[in-house]
């Protein structure tokens, strides 16, 4: 029986692995083992200090002998099975078995490894296969078959409790950070407005002196996480390094209620400069992604909800080429009730409701990507758009990102004017098509009208994106 066991619904497979491997791999077979709440390095030092002469001699042996010793100990490992209580929650129950008996009956398939050692039978393995899940436990690698098994099991548990998966980017999605050296003179006032790190749950602006950094949480983020956690099993996935990811997780989730071990950094990815769901223990058909960078998810665009970037600090504006005052320099911020996170939470609720309450397919056949596509197509449903001087005339119109974006939002796009056209999108009110729109009382809007609808998942007031008319 595999150590890689069925995961509880209220803590994902990654959480289970982290807790289980910490217990199994740090425990001792002797009665003088260190207590469970000691840190890994404390366990090591304590055991060295209290070891017997025989143990001291064993500790001096070479790495191969030590590894073989661990392998033998692992051959008498506890196997674990799932027990579900009357309340529907799932917990681990340990059943002690001598694995030598089970191994004699069937050959171990080596579902995963810790370092080069099989996590079931303890055999030393040659070569590497499967996927590394270092964010769950350092050195953990799972085989493809075991990953499929885990995903299937976790999926059943989550669906039973009406939950899906939600992958959350950090920078410009949930928060904004800046190096202290990059702060402008207009931002110096922030140094006197930072919140205490002693109780981060009540603050939103933090000075991280050890990292020479200041971080601002996006308005509404704490309510967003609390509400989203009722509908989703949530992961953090950032292109930042692991140290930064863990520090941000502490600010967002000080009580470790939402993410726990589910914090993925660029160090954990399998492809350079890309994010992928191969390191997530969740079925792709049940995963939604919130991120401000579409190109980071080239293989999973159908799962992606693109976020409007949060530019609180000046350095963030400069990074993306904006020559304007940042929110901090203007001494303002996004709206709590009408900002990006509040808007997206409404979308997530709608998707969740449709997935669990309105689809006719059996639960196993449902796909959140199809729901996402359906909800997106409602945004500009009924709109027919003609573009005027928005992209070069020699280019193929239907390949332009605004054309594709409008169609994804449910609009019909055309190159020809006719009475059914509802909107002309242009930057210039002096074009022939713009004149036609004004003459026939059609909406004449800037390209930002489509982009705003895409970010907020709602048709925006056309008057807020009106094209300035040239005065004669």
Closest by Cα among 113, 111, 110 to 139: 113
Q: What is the pLDDT of residue 15?
A: 63
pLDDT of 282 over the 60 cut: yes
Sign of CA dihedral 81, 84, 90, 91: negative
Q: What is the pLDDT of residue 403?
A: 96
Give the model's confidence band at 80: pLDDT under 50 very low, under 70 low, under 90 confident, else very high.
very low
Question: CB-side exposure of 422: number of CA atoms within 13 Å?
Answer: 9
Give 133-164 pLDDT, tens digit per residue: 999 999 999 999 999 999 999 999 999 999 99
pLDDT of 264 over the 80 cut: yes
Task: Tell me which H or E stretch contains 157.
Answer: helix 144-160
Question: CB-side exposure of 246: number of CA atoms within 13 Å?
Answer: 9
Structure tokens of 125? Answer: 């393995």
Task: Tell me which H or E stretch contains 408.
Answer: helix 401-408
Give 241-262 pLDDT, tens digit per residue: 999 999 999 999 999 999 999 9
Q: What's the rounded Cα separation, in Å, for the pair 282 and 62?
A: 40
Q: What is the pLDDT of residue 128?
A: 75
Q: What's the rounded Cα separation, in Å, for the pair 288 and 232?
A: 9
Q: What is the pLDDT of residue 362?
A: 84
288 strand-pairing partners? 166
Give 15-67 pLDDT, tens digit per residue: 655 555 555 555 433 433 444 444 334 333 343 334 444 444 444 444 444 44
Structure tokens of 119? Answer: 């996590």
Give the rounded percent of residues in the chain with a pLDDT score beyond 90: 69
Q: What is the pLDDT of residue 77?
A: 38
Q: What is the pLDDT of residue 12?
A: 57
Closest by Cα among 189, 153, 170 to 331: 189
Of 100-109, 266-275, 380-389, the range with the highest mean pLDDT is 380-389
Q: What is the pLDDT of residue 35?
A: 42
Residue 159 near residue 363, CB atoms below 8 Å: yes
State the average pLDDT over residues 445-454: 96
State the average pLDDT over residues 5-16: 48
Q: What is the pLDDT of residue 391?
A: 87
pLDDT of 190 over the 90 cut: yes
Structure tokens of 356? Answer: 């669990």
Q: What is the pLDDT of residue 189?
A: 97
Structure tokens of 444? Answer: 């004449």
State the average pLDDT over residues 341-364: 92
Give the model's confidence band at 131: pLDDT under 50 very low, under 70 low, under 90 confident, else very high.
very high
Q: What is the pLDDT of residue 62?
A: 47
Closest by Cα among 163, 453, 136 to 268: 136
Give the rounded percent of residues in the chain with a pLDDT score beyond 70: 77
Give the model's confidence band at 5: pLDDT under 50 very low, under 70 low, under 90 confident, else very high.
very low
- CA 279 to centroid of chain Cα atoms: 11
Give the model's confidence band at 396: pLDDT under 50 very low, under 70 low, under 90 confident, else very high.
confident
Range in 42-46, 129-133, 171-175, 277-281 the model is least confident about: 42-46
Q: What is the pLDDT of residue 84?
A: 40
Residue 320 near residue 311, CB atoms below 8 Å: yes
Give the model's confidence band at 471: pLDDT under 50 very low, under 70 low, under 90 confident, else very high.
low
Q: What is the residue-averaged pLDDT of the chain?
A: 83
Give the model's confidence band at 126: pLDDT under 50 very low, under 70 low, under 90 confident, else very high.
confident
Range in 40-49, 107-116, 378-387 the model is least confident about: 40-49
**Residue, of 222 and 101, whose pLDDT is higher:** 222
State the average pLDDT over residues 162-174: 98
Range in 221-230, 386-395, 399-408 the model is least confident about: 386-395
Range in 37-46, 121-130, 349-358, 413-422 the model is least confident about: 37-46
Quick one: 281 exposed, middle or buried, by C-beta within 10 A (0-12, 13-18, 19+)? buried
- For 34-174, list the strands marked E by DSSP: 79-84, 90-95, 112-114, 117-118, 131-132, 140-142, 164-168
Q: What's the rounded Cα separation, in Å, for the pair 263 and 32?
A: 34
Closest by Cα among 77, 69, 71 to 101: 77
Q: What is the pLDDT of residue 339?
A: 94
State the average pLDDT over residues 225-245: 97
């Amino acid at each position: 029986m595999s150590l890689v066991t069925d995961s509880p619904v209220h803590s994902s497979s990654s959480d289970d692995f982290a807790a289980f491997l910490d217990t199994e791999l740090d425990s001792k077979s002797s009665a003088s083992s260190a207590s469970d709440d000691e840190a890994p390095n404390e366990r090591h030092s304590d055991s060295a200090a209290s070891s017997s002469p025989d143990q001291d001699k064993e500790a001096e042996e070479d790495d191969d002998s030590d590894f073989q010793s661990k392998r033998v100990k692992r051959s008498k490992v506890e196997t674990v099975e799932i027990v579900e209580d009357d309340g529907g929650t799932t917990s681990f129950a340990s059943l002690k078995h001598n694995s030598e008996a089970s191994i004699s009956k069937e050959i171990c398939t080596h579902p995963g490894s810790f370092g080069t050692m099989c996590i079931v039978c303890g055999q030393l393995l040659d070569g590497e296969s499967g996927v590394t899940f270092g964010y769950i436990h350092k050195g953990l690698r799972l085989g493809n078959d075991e990953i499929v098994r885990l995903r299937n099991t976790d999926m059943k548990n989550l669906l039973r409790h009406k939950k899906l998966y939600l992958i959350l980017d950090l920078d410009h999605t949930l928060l904004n950070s800046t190096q202290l050296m990059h702060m402008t003179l207009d931002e110096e006032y922030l140094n006197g407005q930072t919140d205490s790190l002693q109780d981060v749950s009540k603050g939103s602006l933090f000075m991280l002196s050890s990292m020479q950094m200041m971080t601002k949480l996006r308005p509404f983020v704490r309510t967003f996480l609390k509400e989203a956690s009722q509908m989703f099993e949530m992961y953090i996935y950032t292109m930042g390094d692991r140290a930064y990811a863990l520090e941000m997780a502490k600010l967002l989730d000080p009580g470790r209620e939402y993410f726990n071990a589910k914090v993925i950094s660029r160090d954990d990815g399998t492809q350079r400069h890309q994010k992928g769901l191969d390191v997530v223990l969740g079925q792709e058909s049940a995963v939604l992604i919130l991120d401000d960078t579409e190109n980071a998810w080239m293989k999973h665009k159908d799962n992606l909800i693109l976020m409007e970037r949060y530019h609180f600090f000046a350095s963030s504006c400069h990074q993306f080429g904006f020559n304007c005052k940042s929110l901090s320099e203007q001494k303002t911020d996004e709206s709590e009730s009408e900002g990006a996170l509040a808007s997206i939470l409404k979308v997530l609720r709608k998707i969740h409701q449709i997935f669990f309450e309105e689809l006719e397919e059996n639960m196993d056949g449902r796909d959140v990507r199809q729901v996402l596509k359906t909800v997106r197509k409602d945004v500009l449903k009924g709109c027919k758009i003609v573009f005027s001087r928005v992209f070069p005339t020699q280019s193929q119109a239907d390949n332009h990102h605004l054309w594709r974006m409008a169609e994804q939002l449910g609009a019909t796009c055309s190159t020809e004017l006719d009475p059914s056209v509802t909107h002309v999108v242009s930057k210039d009110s002096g074009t022939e098509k713009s004149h036609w729109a004004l003459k026939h009382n059609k909406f004449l809007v800037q390209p930002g009208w489509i982009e705003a609808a895409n970010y907020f998942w709602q048709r925006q007031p056309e008057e807020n994106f009106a094209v300035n008319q040239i005065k004669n």
